[in-house]
Chains A and B, each alone.
Chain A
Amino acid sequence: MNDKLYKYLLMLGDNSMILGHRLSELCGHGPSLETDIALTNISLDLFGQVRNIFQYAAKLKGANTTEDSIAFLRTARQHHNCILLEQPNTDFAHVIIRQYLFDAFQKLQLENLCESADDQIAAIAAKSLKETNYHVRFSAEWCKRLGAGTSESNQKMQEALNHLYPFSFEFFEQNEIESEMYSKGIGPDLNRLKDIYFSQVKTLLSTAELNIPDSPARHTKGKSGIHSEYLGYILSDFQYMQRVYPNMQW
């Protein structure tokens, strides 16, 4: 059981970690000072949430496992994040759409995890949810502002949405571990969340004057460790210091 719970924690944590890293790449490169600071603050929150999750995972694993060894010493195939989160910061529209598609899911997931039969997961979720409420406000606000902005901003948002929206289906492709967590009352019923999610997303996108793309869902397998080419590059950057100077500390 502990082994499965451990894997489940990696799934929860890796989404936040990989997106947190993508957002950290924007530090000093945001389109304006305010958005730069906002995105890096969100990155910091995500890393804080990951630390809580990985500290718990390390405790389950025992032996020499630490939050840092989990974060810095796994190969790409040992990562369980959804493919959406590793998509690059192509432009601000992509950054915002990716963020909103994740935030809306994460908020729903955390609301459910607050009721988890696992006390530690419930505590982490309750803490993280307070922060995620701010994130989704930020990303939804920008979706509306840019989607319903000028024809150029609308067009860029629509292009980003066309590209990224199909990835959002992976959140709900419930795998074996997630099914088991649901049956034990630890994780949410992703099938049920799916309908709520897409109805919320549709409402927001229509306010933002954006059209739901008719491109089909992408059946990606990030949660099982099958990733896009991007993840390798992310990890070579993210893990560089620990790989070159093993066990280094600040």
Chain B
Amino acid sequence: MVVELNNIDKDILDALASVPDPEIPVINVIDLGVVRQVKKVNKQVFIDLTPTYTGCPAMDMMSVDIKKAIDALGYETFVKLVIKPAWSTDWISEEGRRKMEEYGIAPPLEENLDKRVLLDGESLVSCTHCQSTNTKMISQFGSTACKALFKCHDCLEPFDYFKCLK
């Protein structure tokens, strides 16, 4: 996802990149693709943020954290939640997907493969511990709405899978 930037200095981008997703702390809000637009007008910064899931309790926290991080640079920050166009897992950056996997959450598959896994129970998701695809979905809803719970038949460990959302 390309973030629309207007008149933005590197220090503001760095501040944004320092704000983690509170539920997947290795990923920042830029990696997650939830920052849609950043605009600076004199000493004011306006940010459009888009929710991953409508009820995601992490969104309010991200808004507050973003405001704090940019206010600390001497700006007055306004964060607005926008819902159109709706967030898609395609907006998670390559970097974000890599960090997610290292953290123990399998990144989302392409939509058609995701459907085959979630609807037909096919084994296509790689285990984050041993990379085996001999895996099975245990529950369509995991620890948060965005994830499903899986287990690996080879190393026998459970892991999370970030569901494709398009």
Q: Given the complex, which residues of B lie within 8 Å of A46, measured CB to CB?
A: 55
Chain A contacts with B in 36-51, Cβ cutoff 8 A? 37-38, 41-42, 44-49, 51
Residues of B within 8 A of A (CB): 51, 53-57, 83-87, 118-119, 138-145, 149, 163, 165-166
Known A-B contacts A45-B54, A48-B53, A123-B84; the reply to A131 vs B145 at CB < 8 A is yes
Judge whether A134 is part of the interface by a CB distance below 8 angstroms. yes
| A34/B139 in contact, CB under 8 A | yes
| A34/B138 in contact, CB under 8 A | yes
Partner of A127, one of B86, B140, B141, B144: B86
Q: Given the complex, which residues of B lie within 8 Å of A124, measured CB to CB?
A: 83
Q: Given the complex, which residues of B lie within 8 Å of A137, measured CB to CB?
A: 118-119, 140
Q: Which residue of B lies closest to A141 (CB)?
A: B140
Judge whether A112 is part of the interface by a CB distance below 8 angstroms. no
Interface residues on A, range: 20 to 34
Q: Given the complex, which residues of B lie within 8 Å of A134, measured CB to CB?
A: 140-141, 163
Judge whether A128 is part of the interface by a CB distance below 8 angstroms. yes
Q: How far is the CB of A116 from chain B (nearest CB, A)?
A: 12
User: What is the bound-complex CA distance between A130 and B144, given in angstroms?
Assistant: 16
Q: Given the complex, which residues of B lie within 8 Å of A44, measured CB to CB?
A: 53, 55-57, 145
User: 1/0 contact trace for A21-58 toward B, CB 8 Å?
Assistant: 00000000000001101100110111111011000000
Partner of A138, one of B51, B55, B140, B143: B140
Residues of A within 8 A of B (CB): 34-35, 37-38, 41-42, 44-49, 51-52, 119, 123-124, 126-128, 130-131, 134, 137-138, 141
**Could you list 23 A-B pairs, sorted by A, with CB under 8 Å?**
A34-B138, A34-B141, A38-B139, A41-B144, A44-B53, A44-B56, A44-B145, A45-B53, A45-B54, A48-B54, A48-B56, A49-B55, A51-B54, A51-B55, A52-B83, A124-B83, A126-B85, A128-B54, A131-B53, A131-B145, A134-B163, A137-B118, A138-B140
Partner of A49, one of B54, B87, B119, B138: B54
| A138/B83 in contact, CB under 8 A | no
Q: Given the complex, which residues of A lie within 8 Å of B51, measured CB to CB?
A: 48, 127
Per CB-CB distance, the 6 closest pairs between chain A and chain B, nearest first, are A48-B55, A48-B54, A34-B139, A123-B84, A38-B141, A44-B55
Partner of A37, one of B84, B85, B143: B143
Q: How far is the CB of B118 from chain A (nearest CB, A)?
A: 7
Given A34-B139, A127-B54, A131-B54, 14 extra CB contacts under 8 A: A44-B55, A45-B55, A48-B55, A49-B54, A51-B54, A123-B83, A126-B84, A127-B83, A130-B165, A130-B166, A131-B53, A134-B163, A137-B118, A137-B140
